[in-house]
Chains A and B, each alone.
Chain A
Amino acid sequence: MDAAQQEATARARELQRSWYGEPLGALFRRLIDDLGLNQARLASVLGLSAPMLSQLMSGQRAKIGNPAVVQRVQALQELSHQVADGSVSAAEAAERMEEVKRSSGGSVLNSTQTAASSGAPTVKRVVREIQSLLRSVAAAGDIIEAAGTLAPTHPELAEFLRVYGAGRTAEAVAHYEAHQS
């Protein structure tokens, strides 16, 4: 490596220190150790290609271009702290890493909806179908009244009617997701 290259690498590491708290070589190596990964696995969880990970670690490149990857790095750092202090087991950590891997930065043209799961729009559609069906049968006021009548004997059914018949869509989506599994 010639002098100019060395200088560029040192400069990149300096930038990384200011952006990410420390050079990415050190940061990624610690994640690899703490979470029991290897470079290929770390790249896959972060959603980076192997050559990109290696360029970032060696300081050939300073910046992580994809903001979603920066978020995943932060999530993994958090996770590695939790593994270190014993609040998360190794098995749970593996599961959480899968979640981190799947997480993305929200969907386009729809910044209010922060749900990261790609299933979200379908859930919303299903929920809207249920809502519109209920509301085509009875008006919101009638549904609330019926829910009140049912509540003492069948609280779950009352809740169902209230949430889908008169509640907000977000509430209905939460109800749907909570009962989906």
Chain B
Amino acid sequence: MGEVLAGRYELVDPIGRGGVGEVWRVWDRERRCYAAAKLLKQSHAHSLLLRFVREQALRIDHPHVLAPVSWAAIDDRVLFTMEVVRGGSVAHLIGDYGPLPARFACDLLDQLLAALTAVHAEGVVHRDIKPANLLLEATGTGRPHLRLSDFGCAMRKGEPRLTETNYVMGTPGYFAPEQMAGEEPDFPADLFAVGLVALYVLTGRKPDAEALVGLFLEQGRPRPPREVPAPLWDVLAGLLAPDPVDRFRTAAEAREALASAAALLPVPDEEERIEVFDQIGPLPPGFGPRGPEKAPPRPVAPPLPATPPMPVPSAAEPAVASAGTPAGTPVLKPRGGRPAPPSRRTVAVVLLVALVCLVAGACALAVA
């Protein structure tokens, strides 16, 4: 039996590594299904906890959006789960195939813009659109199916910023110029990133955002790269304009323009067959489609609730778990068959969130 986290998630095998932690395939004992669990490195947990809490708070139900389904915080580590998406990311696809055929690329971009339309409709700016965050279902040689993931940097427009104001969130290389300048997060910044992704998938090379902005400022609209068909360049230019007011106003508008442009693309005689492979591989020995094959030797610990998971802080039992855990043992292991009490970090988060609510309430009262 694999290690069990939070009395609920049995580790199966590692399936990826992100910027902020590992991703494991887990067996969710409560929901009785496999899930992908993002596990935060301990050293990152403190500064990033808020991001994860925020990521959890976001639930957007859309075929092209991959949002977390449950989460747990134990001591100073955090885990949250989502569906297992098996086809790797758009970054893998470029690695395997280089530049993608224009029609295939249009399909992906259309799905990305559909996802963003739904996300923006919730008032949320994603802020980290990049190929590695665009996951794919393992559709083989069929039509691709993109899922926009990783809302760790996302925030609601107009929401008070919880991170230090001078800290620009997102991934270097995919910033819109106004994002670099530290302006309030807004939807057009996501559209700029879609433009960069579009260039990436059509040329097979990572675009240089800074150089691009320079070229647009110098030349108005530069000539398209060799691989980008003219009708598509019109759409890309509407996404990549350095000044946000020159871009498409909404993802839906960009999507419409893309559809018209895609209709003008010539039907190719023969193009490379793009296959989105299953990147995850079979279950390791000891695990079957219905979960772990051997019965666990110990009684199952009571699982943490799926939602809302926020433990109520109690002054009577502060941070027992971290103090009582011997050095070297994994702190995520449930001990004594009862859920781990809230740690200092969890308490801190709860207090902080409460404080934010209080301030927001006070502001609302003041306005009223």
The residues of A with any CB-CB pair to B shorter than 8 Å are 47-52, 63, 65-69, 104-110, 113, 118, 121-122, 125
Which residues of chain B in 86-102 are interfacial with respect to chain A, using CB atoms and an 8 Å cutoff?
88, 92, 94-98
**How far apart are A94's CB and chain B's nearest CB, in angstroms?**
20
* A108 and B199 contact, CB distance less than 8 A: yes
A105 to B225, CA, bound (A): 14
* B208 and A65 contact, CB distance less than 8 A: no
With A107-B205, A108-B207 known as contacts, the answer to whether A49 contacts B277 (CB < 8 A) is yes
Contacts of A68 in B (CB 8 A): 98, 204-205
Interface 0/1 of B69-111, CB less than 8 Å to A: 0000000000000000000100010111110000000000000
Of B30-38, B210-218, B245-253, B315-323, the segment with at least 4 beta carbons within 8 Å of chain A is: B210-218
Chain B residues within 8 Å of chain A by Cβ, number: 26
A51 to B279, CA, bound (A): 7
A107 — nearest CB in chain B belongs to which residue? Answer: B208
**How far apart are A43's CB and chain B's nearest CB, in angstroms?**
9
**How far apart are B266's CB and chain A's nearest CB, in angstroms?**
20
Q: Does B278 touch A at the CB level, under 8 Å? A: yes
Interface 0/1 of B198-210, CB less than 8 Å to A: 0110011111101
The residues of B with any CB-CB pair to A shorter than 8 Å are 88, 92, 94-98, 173, 199-200, 203-208, 210-212, 215, 222, 225, 272, 277-279
A155 to B205, CA, bound (A): 41
Contacts of B278 in A (CB 8 A): 51
* A52 and B96 contact, CB distance less than 8 A: yes
B273 — nearest CB in chain A belongs to which residue? Answer: A61
* A125 and B210 contact, CB distance less than 8 A: yes
**How far apart are A152's CB and chain B's nearest CB, in angstroms?**
40
Contacts of A118 in B (CB 8 A): 173, 206
* B279 and A121 contact, CB distance less than 8 A: no
Label chain A's interface by main secondary structure: loop
Contacts of A50 in B (CB 8 A): 279
Q: Which of A48, A52, A67, A110 contacts B208 (CB 8 A)?
A: A110
Contacts of A110 in B (CB 8 A): 208, 211, 215
* B98 and A67 contact, CB distance less than 8 A: yes
B212 — nearest CB in chain A belongs to which residue? Answer: A109
With A109-B212, A110-B211 known as contacts, the answer to whether A49 contacts B279 (CB < 8 A) is yes
Q: Which of A51, A104, A106, A108 contacts B277 (CB 8 A)?
A: A51
A113 — nearest CB in chain B belongs to which residue? Answer: B211
Contacts of B279 in A (CB 8 A): 49-51
**How far apart are B207's CB and chain A's nearest CB, in angstroms?**
5
**How far apart are B54's CB and chain A's nearest CB, in angstroms?**
29
Contacts of B204 in A (CB 8 A): 66-68, 105
With A65-B272, A105-B204, A109-B215 known as contacts, the answer to whether A47 contacts B95 (CB < 8 A) is yes
* A105 and B95 contact, CB distance less than 8 A: no
With A49-B88, A51-B278, A110-B211 known as contacts, the answer to whether A65 contacts B96 (CB < 8 A) is yes
**How far apart are B214's CB and chain A's nearest CB, in angstroms?**
9
18 contacts between A and B (CB under 8 A): A49-B95, A49-B279, A66-B94, A66-B204, A68-B204, A69-B95, A69-B98, A105-B205, A107-B207, A107-B211, A108-B199, A108-B205, A108-B212, A109-B207, A110-B208, A110-B215, A118-B206, A125-B210
Contacts of A107 in B (CB 8 A): 205-208, 211
A105 to B203, CA, bound (A): 10
Contacts of B212 in A (CB 8 A): 108-109
Contacts of B225 in A (CB 8 A): 108-109
Which 6 pairs across A and B sit closest by C-beta, in order of nearness? Answer: A66-B98, A51-B277, A65-B97, A107-B208, A52-B96, A47-B95
With A67-B204, A109-B222 known as contacts, the answer to whether A48 contacts B95 (CB < 8 A) is yes
Contacts of A66 in B (CB 8 A): 94-98, 204
Q: Which of B92, B98, B205, B215 contacts A49 (CB 8 A)?
A: B92
**How far apart are B66's CB and chain A's nearest CB, in angstroms?**
19
**How far apart are A19's CB and chain B's nearest CB, in angstroms?**
14
* B205 and A121 contact, CB distance less than 8 A: no
* B203 and A108 contact, CB distance less than 8 A: yes
* B205 and A48 contact, CB distance less than 8 A: no
A68 to B205, CA, bound (A): 9
**How far apart are A69's CB and chain B's nearest CB, in angstroms?**
7
Contacts of B95 in A (CB 8 A): 47-49, 52, 66, 69
Contacts of B210 in A (CB 8 A): 121-122, 125
With A109-B212, A109-B215 known as contacts, the answer to whether A104 contacts B97 (CB < 8 A) is no
A68 to B200, CA, bound (A): 13
A118 to B278, CA, bound (A): 30
**How far apart are A180's CB and chain B's nearest CB, in angstroms?**
18
**How far apart are B336's CB and chain A's nearest CB, in angstroms?**
39
**How far apart are B213's CB and chain A's nearest CB, in angstroms?**
10
**How far apart are A120's CB and chain B's nearest CB, in angstroms?**
8
